[in-house]
A and B are shown apart, each in its own frame.
Chain A
Amino acid sequence: MELTGSHSLTQPPETVWRALFDPEVLARAIPGCETLAQTSDDAFAATVKLKIGPVSARFKGEVELADKEPPFACTLSGKGSGGIAGFAKGAARVTLAPEGTGTVLSYTAEAALGGKLAALGSRLIQATAAKLADEFFTRFADVLNETTTTATTD
């Protein structure tokens, strides 16, 4: 399954880039994120609770950032195990392009499901994944706006 999308952000690429690597920002932006910890410069461990179709599961997984071209592009890949629900894995190529004083963030992502999630959720995965991606970037933008606003008033 492939997903693509783009979002306009008011911050310049450098700010967005830093936020992409900020565990606090990510923890607030990732839908259903319960815990997120940086395990190395480019890796995070996360626990995320999601409902896909009739199956809800708590995923324990890792997210890695690779092929970095700061501050314009990187690849995020992750795999999460959802216990008896199965697993989800995916990778997204994220690019940041300046647009005026802001940034256009675009992504092309591929995701796959396994086990119960695939058997019961396949029909709904496209819609669910699109919704989750949209939710992530909307929250990411909100968090970014908040933190940058806080920063300027400081």
Chain B
Amino acid sequence: MTQRFAPDRPAHIGQPHLRRNALRHLAGRGAYVSDLALPRMVHAAFLRSPMAHGRITALDLDEARAAPGVIAVYSAADLNPMCQGWTGVLSHFAGMTSPAQSILADQEVLWVGHPVAMVIARTRAEAEDACEKILLDIDDLPAVAGFAPALDPDMPAAAEASASNLCFRAELKTEGAAAAFDGAALVVEGEWRFGRHTAVTLEPRAVVADYDPASGQLTVHHGTQTPFQFQDVYARQFGLPDNRVRVISPDVGGSFGMKLHLYHEEMATVAASLKLHRPVRFVADRLESFTSDIHARDHKVKARMALDGQGQVLAMEVLDRTLIGPYSTYPRTSVAEGNQVIRLMGAPYAMPDYHGVLEVLFQNKVQTSQYRAVGHPIAVQVTEALIDLAAEKLGLDPFEMRARNVVADDAYPCASATGYRFEKLSHQESLRRLRALMDYDGLRAEQAALREKGIHRGIGLATFVEITNPGAAFYGVGGARISAQDGAVVRLTPGGEAHCAISVTEQGQGTETIIAQIVADQLGLTPDQVKVVTGDTDATPSGGATWACRGAGIGGETALRAGRKLAEQLCRIAGAILQAAPESLALRGGAVVDAATGAERLALAELARIATYRPDTLPEGTDNSLSVAQHFAPQGYPFGFTNGVQAAWVEVDTETGLVKLLKHWVVEDCGRIINPLLVDEQIRGGVVQGLGAALYEECLYDDAGQLLNGSLADYLVPMAGEMPDILIGHVETPTEDTILGAKGVGEAGTAAAGAAVMNAVNDALRPFGARLCQTPMTPARILAALGIGPTERDETWN
């Protein structure tokens, strides 16, 4: 192919270019939605259900309406008729069901935190004061809170509109699955419980909706990853033309998947602005974040693995049950995580057969849905725990066990037993790199020496495959209006610099920086000469934006193609000016040069000046356009898979149950690396989120469905003092589906960090015959595994 990426181009791609937009944050000049104050702006607060399930028997808003500063008080009767309502099902998840949702709870409340009434006041404090004055009476209904009630056929459904608590069931089975187990020399098995946790973005969800009746324009300042998705949702839900809906996502204080779902509060805020004709602001407080942001995981997995006498994996059998909320989340559904769990099982390994079953169950807790590394940590943890169990039974070293089983680097393209098609991965090379990077043999010797002194350290390994660059196969085919393509407009400014407006968004990953690097390389400029604009539906072409690790792979390719298109156009104009064949020209060092000799022919600034101010001097018929638009959608593989391997080195205090993270290693292959500085920091941040889930983070509920730890004092997040240094190595296997060759990297760290740490903890505890199979691995659970304290599974197992 002549269009292949050529590394000998004047390359900013691949360089650790610094993020210009970081300088604003370092000066305290970030511009988040939660910072926004508009003329006439009013503030929203919500009265929420204190019960997990119940029927509203009284709701009296009169006293609240008369409270100081109050502008309006709304119930379901006021707001719900303003919108269509939404249902979180997609047609490619055959047979799935979910009740319809609307803005405020109408008659039935379905989880603790379900918004029942909305108060709009001059200040948030006054709105909260007025919430105190609302009379709300709720009659308790049975709450489905946990696996036992959700699976109990005699238990009423979590929502009266549901026929049962089964939201979705799926089964994957190869023909030889049963026979593989019958003929196996070894079968290892276990059951794992993955606690519920949540995104805990430091900036909570924030929205300012501003409807101007004079222009018919709705502007929503929305801290989200996906402005175009919300433009479409608000337009359809409220019956507005989509070109009269503008969604602006400025700086976003963390998102991680959590801020791309549709929430009741955001819909209510838009509805209130449509009613009041003035800007309405809602910013969640931390407790509201815990009770209304989506949660993730909450899975229980039963799995076994069949192997032959040489330790070759023959098949896996998996039953994954997951508890979501009373509804499936819109617009991506709450079943996508389980769907990925059962499809990613055994993904790194040459495993011919598989049988997986997924059951997605409703319950009366806040909805679960996509959060960083959707499904990956669960599939990786189960697979890698089984691999370690098998290695132990067979007397094989965990490294050797993996080396025997990973798909060979020369065996691509190939497909997994679960149906995923892999273009090219690098498990063998990644394992080799990791072994050297961590000095595996030295570490094993150190571990053995310390055992003699009663110090219990463990090494854990976890290979993984990550889904990135999804095409329409992810959601679009199921009917979701979620764009699988992206768009960019690149232009040469009259001063000879560049401007790129692109549909992918920035939440601190460095999207704008890598787009600048890519465009700069196409136009022969430096990244600092390329201004990148993101996060405004009025300013950029429409596209999917940033989720599922698609920003670099799809957004980057869009920018590259747009940049090339503009380069060709600039060479045409220059050709006309210079009376040279456009093909003989190229762009380098801020100028049009002779492609063969590199000799400068015309500065870009001069070209821009002529095309902008003196187009009359161009030969007749010359197209003087200095802007081009380009869209791109992946057309080859449905997903761009990446791979890697992680290792954890931990010490377990067998008297206190505390785990000390000593060091962590990651070798990752995300294809073409556009900016190593940003890639490494993505991986590290991802690892730390995975470590949080493995050791600390859990949304705890009682049997009545009451959340018990709704604050950062009670819900533990990873802090600097507990985190290890994280060493990173790379293998670069570019995808051939695109010119750029980049895949995603944002979820790789989270995908396997927990698995590596669980294997490390179990390695440390091996002499005690103790084994952890529940996350988070709290000190109490570690002591229980050691036979100290209660030995029964704790209540959160169910």
**Residues 260-294 (chain B) with a chain A CB within 8 angstroms:** 287, 290-291
Task: Report whether A86 and B714 are in contact in the complex, using a CB–CB cutoff of 8 Å.
Answer: no
What is the CA–CA distance of A113 and B48 in the complex, to the nearest angstrom? Answer: 15
Task: Report whether B112 and A115 are in contact in the complex, using a CB–CB cutoff of 8 Å.
Answer: yes
Q: Which residue of B lies closest to A122 (CB)?
A: B708
CB contacts (< 8 Å) of B707 on chain A: these are: 118-119
What is the CA–CA distance of A83 and B63 in the complex, to the nearest angstrom? Answer: 13
Q: Is A112 among interface residues, defined by CB-CB distance under 8 A?
A: yes
> A112 contacts which of B133, B134, B704 (Cβ < 8 Å)?
B704
> A83 contacts which of B49, B134, B706, B708 (Cβ < 8 Å)?
B134
Task: Report whether A114 and B134 are in contact in the complex, using a CB–CB cutoff of 8 Å.
Answer: no
Task: Report whether B714 and A84 are in contact in the complex, using a CB–CB cutoff of 8 Å.
Answer: no
Task: Report whether B128 and A84 are in contact in the complex, using a CB–CB cutoff of 8 Å.
Answer: yes
What is the CA–CA distance of A111 and B704 in the complex, to the nearest angstrom? Answer: 12
Q: Is B51 among interface residues, defined by CB-CB distance under 8 A?
A: yes
CB contacts (< 8 Å) of B48 on chain A: these are: 84, 115
> A118 contacts which of B133, B137, B702 (Cβ < 8 Å)?
B702
Task: Report whether B710 and A120 are in contact in the complex, using a CB–CB cutoff of 8 Å.
Answer: yes
What is the CA–CA distance of A113 and B707 in the complex, to the nearest angstrom? Answer: 10
Q: How does the 8 Å CB contact mask read for A93-114 relative to B, with 1 for contact and 0 for none? A: 0000000000000000000111
Q: Which residue of A lies closest to B290 (CB)?
A: A119
Task: Report whether B714 and A123 are in contact in the complex, using a CB–CB cutoff of 8 Å.
Answer: yes
Q: How does the 8 Å CB contact mask read for A108-139 relative to B, with 1 for contact and 0 for none? A: 00001111111110110000000000000000
Q: How does the 8 Å CB contact mask read for B699-712 relative to A, with 1 for contact and 0 for none? A: 00010101111110
CB contacts (< 8 Å) of A87 on chain B: these are: 50-51
Task: Report whether B50 and A116 are in contact in the complex, using a CB–CB cutoff of 8 Å.
Answer: yes
CB distance from A85 to the nearest CB of B (A): 8
How large, as a class, is the contact surface on chain A? 10 to 19
CB contacts (< 8 Å) of A113 on chain B: these are: 706
What is the CA–CA distance of A120 and B136 in the complex, to the nearest angstrom? Answer: 21
**Residues 126-158 (chain B) with a chain A CB within 8 angstroms:** 128, 131-134, 136-137
Task: Report whether B291 and A119 are in contact in the complex, using a CB–CB cutoff of 8 Å.
Answer: yes
Task: Report whether B706 and A114 are in contact in the complex, using a CB–CB cutoff of 8 Å.
Answer: yes
What is the CA–CA distance of A90 and B710 in the complex, to the nearest angstrom? Answer: 22
Task: Report whether B706 and A84 are in contact in the complex, using a CB–CB cutoff of 8 Å.
Answer: no
CB distance from A82 to the nearest CB of B (A): 8
What is the CA–CA distance of A6 and B708 in the complex, to the nearest angstrom? Answer: 29
What is the CA–CA distance of A91 and B131 in the complex, to the nearest angstrom? Answer: 28
CB contacts (< 8 Å) of A77 on chain B: these are: none
Q: Is A81 among interface residues, defined by CB-CB distance under 8 A?
A: yes
Task: Report whether A119 and B710 are in contact in the complex, using a CB–CB cutoff of 8 Å.
Answer: yes
Q: Is B47 among interface residues, defined by CB-CB distance under 8 A?
A: yes
What is the CA–CA distance of A83 and B131 in the complex, to the nearest angstrom? Answer: 8
> Given A83-B134, A84-B128, does the pair A114, B709 have CB atoms closer than 8 Å?
no
CB distance from B198 to the nearest CB of A (A): 13
> A114 contacts which of B47, B287, B704 (Cβ < 8 Å)?
B704
> Given A83-B132, A112-B704, A114-B706, does the pair A119, B51 have CB atoms closer than 8 Å?
no
What is the CA–CA distance of A87 and B132 in the complex, to the nearest angstrom? Answer: 13
